Amino acid sequence: MSTTVTTARGPVRGERRADGSLRFLGIPYAQPPVGDLRFAAPVPPEPWTEPLDATAYGPTAQRRPFGEVVIIPEPTIPGDGVLNLNVFTPDADPEAGLPVLVWIHGGGYVAGSAASPWYDGAAFNRDGVIVVSLGYRLGIEGFLHLEDAPDNRGVRDWIAALEWVRDNIAAFGGDPAKVTVAGQSAGGGAVQTLLAVPSAQGLFRAAISVSGAALRPDGPEVARAVSRLLTSRTGVPATVAALRDLGDDEILALQDRLAEQGPDREGVPALLALAPFADGELIPVPVQDALTSGEAGADVPLMLGFTEHEFTMIPAPGPEGPPLPVLLGGLGLDVGRTEAFTKAYEEGGEALLFGQALTDATFRAPNLAVADARAARERPTWLYEFTWRSPLLGLSFHCLDLPFAFDVLDAEGVAPVAGDTPPRALADAVHRAWVAFVTHQDPGADWPRYTSGGRATMIWDAEPRIAEDPLSGVRAIWLD
């Protein structure tokens, strides 16, 4: 059964699902970023009068999956109108005033898809929460610094989508004053970035950063170095004129060249070279600095955390690569800290040390630093670590927590990574905490705030529990 809702730009026709909830897919929040708009700031869509069919997912900016650590089914859908979003709602009652979860997908800022079955909003709808998932420009189109284009175009897309939610979500039953922005991996980094963007303030009241990636230095000098590297390796100037008319395959080929390792990468991050950066305008200062030493997002309740073994499955380079102490040194560990690190994880075996170091340096330590800094200023913060291990791999790896948060244990792609019988009680507990946080800006009485005095941390395992400062070893090795 179809249902039509009128947005500020025109009517959209969605579908009522078997459980009674509604979904509206592929709604444009900006014009297709093609031609003169390809590297421009997002522009609102032209109005329309006839109902727009919103019963199928819209085009995705992803043109191929990202790396080996992503386990999420992420469809690639061709088309130009990639700046679209999806709304899952219990019922389109303009008087309902329901809380809203706005979801930003991950994918290393170069891939990912809002059309994943893992991001289905049905369970949240069941519990009185609207879900909005959004697509945004990726890679070169979203994040490469160009002298003749606005910086951080992907970030501008997130803001445009949040503005769409502010202006339209009431028609779908939501309250624009009750928006929580959330995301995982690059999406978790997006959430932290939005906390540091002045123009995004007021568009959401709470935030959830899941495995937020914080890896690179992110000032304008780094962004310019990335642009220079692209040109030196490919001969293609980092300008709108040179890039605007290139096809998808040509853009991907340029990104592949940019990702290659080599001695000419001085000043360029080894990973996430195409990512949000502090441009001095939209993002005034580096996000990590803003969150650990400034007032960014000061009054916004923040839930953040990570899995215990995010990237632990990634092996160290083979015999031809640098030895482990050199690799750990590249991640910031001196001799003494390297010894402490290897001793702390010796039970896992040497084969897992490099991947665990990537996990700590990329996710656990940076997010712990944010939590500690906010706690020192008495900001509302809740920290967690997801430690339940897949029976198939024996690790709690990157993305494994998402089916539990969205309560989609029966979705496509879950059994191959979580086994046939992942713990239902854990999904109930994680999902219930998310619903409570989105609804009340607090995950519940059984999960106390993270403070400097106690550092209470939720441990998501088969039997969830609160632990007092369980990450002290991570802090001692990477932060103190």
Q: Which domains does the chain have, with CATH numbers?
A: 2-216+279-478 (3.40.50.1820), 220-265 (no CATH)
Q: Which residues pair with 180 in a beta bridge?
A: 101, 206
Catalytic residue (choose from 21, 113, 116, 185): 185
Alpha-carbon 188 to chain mean position: 3
Q: Kindly give the pairing relationship between strand 381-386 and strand 302-307.
A: parallel
Per-residue pLDDT, 316: 82
CA angle 324–330–332, rounded 5-degree value: 110
Spatial CB neighbours of 129, under 8 Å, sequence gap ≥ 6:
98, 99, 100, 101, 121, 435, 438, 439
Our answer to whether residue 398 is catalytic in this structure is: yes
Catalytic residue (choose from 74, 308, 310, 385): 310
Q: Which residues pair with 407 in a beta bridge?
A: none
Which amino acid type is present at position 287?
V
Catalytic residue (choose from 105, 145, 398, 431): 398
Per-residue pLDDT, 214: 65
Q: How far apart are CA 112 and CA 66, in angstroms?
A: 7
Spatial CB neighbours of 234, under 8 Å, sequence gap ≥ 6:
254, 257
Rounded to whole angstroms, what are the CA distances from 17 to 91, 120, 125, 258, 456?
11, 12, 11, 44, 40
Per-residue pLDDT, 218: 81
- Cα–Cα nearest to 211, from 180, 183, 185: 185
Our answer to whether residue 431 is catalytic in this structure is: no
Our answer to whether residue 385 is catalytic in this structure is: no
C-beta atoms surrounding 436 within 10 Å = 17
Q: How far apart are CA 188 and CA 194, in angstroms?
A: 10
Q: Count CA atoms closer than 13 A to 106's CA, side-chain side.
A: 27
Q: Which helix (H) or strand (E) holds 89?
A: strand 84-89
For the chain, residues with pLDDT lower than 50 are none
- pLDDT tens digit string along 265-277? 888 888 889 999 9
